[in-house]
Amino acid sequence: MSFKNKTAIVTGAGQGIGLEICSKLAQKGANVILNDLDETLADKAVQKVIDAGGASCIAFSGDAGEPGFIQRMVDTAVSRFGQLDIVIANAGITLFGDFFTYTPEAFFRVMQVNLGGTFFLAQAAANQMKKQASGGSLLFTSSVTGHQAHKDLAAYGMSKAALEMLAKNLVIELSQFKINVNTIAPGATLTERTMDDPEYAATWSRITPMGRAATVTDIADTALFLVSEKAKHITGQSLVVDGGWTCISPSPF
């Protein structure tokens, strides 16, 4: 899969899955806009992409849940590289909490970033892509928690399920402009954040049918396929990458 002369935006990419996606896109020829809320983390991530062989990657730090910032990011991609071909709405926050005491502040922050950020990034990107004869590809990061209930993740799970419905709905809006839109739903994945829990890898290896948690490479490889020319006739779909966990869904607790 070549992404030569393609321009991509990836949000929430300072580390983990987003960073791996950026690295792979840049290695395959794409011009990459790497976003993260943390400016220092974004700058370090860009250097990691370049060190890994990526030819073109720039940092664009800021809040991916804020519509004004989102539009500036899209405008920058176009002014810098001439067009926008791929957008991966990967930014999201996970705020665990008991349903009975979950605060409005936590609820609305999850919705602002996970839903609002994705919706308005898709809107801004699609408005640009429909001007281009070549169209483009959108990919949203969902989660297995949008398919199966997980303790203390009511708000997060509903936000991820909603993203999958958004992708289906946008098929009606975007197909005529040669824009396809899909979601990827990772299961347990080994990242800097999850590995803070010393039991994480062992627990998820035990309850995942394939015998291990996913790596960021597992998720990134799937993401690259869904935004490649090989997947242009796939739209409105959600692809679960979880080693089979959602088929049996044992609790980690």
Predicted confidence (pLDDT) at residue 176 exceeds the cutoff of 90 = yes
pLDDT for 82: 96
Q: How many CA atoms lie within 13 A of 148 on its CB side?
A: 17
61, 143, 159, 238: which is the annotated catalytic residue?
A: 143
56, 61, 137, 142: which is the annotated catalytic residue?
A: 142
Q: List, for residues 87-123, the tens digit of each pLDDT value.
A: 999 999 999 999 999 999 999 999 999 999 999 999 9
Q: Rounded distance, CA 58 to CA 77, Å? A: 10
Q: Based on the residue annotation, tell me whether 156 is a catalytic residue of this protein.
A: yes
pLDDT for 193: 83
Q: Based on the residue annotation, tell me whether 160 is a catalytic residue of this protein.
A: yes
156, 200, 228, 238: which is the annotated catalytic residue?
A: 156
Q: Based on the residue annotation, tell me whether 251 is a catalytic residue of this protein.
A: no
CB atoms within 10 A of CB 211: 11
pLDDT for 182: 98
Which pTM was predicted? 0.95
Q: List, for residues 147-165, the tens digit of each pLDDT value.
A: 999 999 999 999 999 999 9
- Which helix H or strand E contains 225, and what residues bound it? helix 216-226
Q: List, for residues 12-37, the tens digit of each pLDDT value.
A: 999 999 999 999 999 999 999 999 99
Q: In the predicted model, what is the mean pLDDT of the chain?
A: 96
CB 11 within 8 A of CB 21: no
pLDDT for 42: 97
Q: List, for residues 39-98, the tens digit of each pLDDT value.
A: 999 999 999 999 999 889 999 999 999 999 999 999 999 999 999 999 999 999 999 999
7-241: CATH number: 3.40.50.720
Q: Based on the residue annotation, tell me whether 2 is a catalytic residue of this protein.
A: no
Going through 26-80 in order, the beta strands assigned E by DSSP cover: 31-36, 56-61
DSSP 8-state code for residue 156 = H
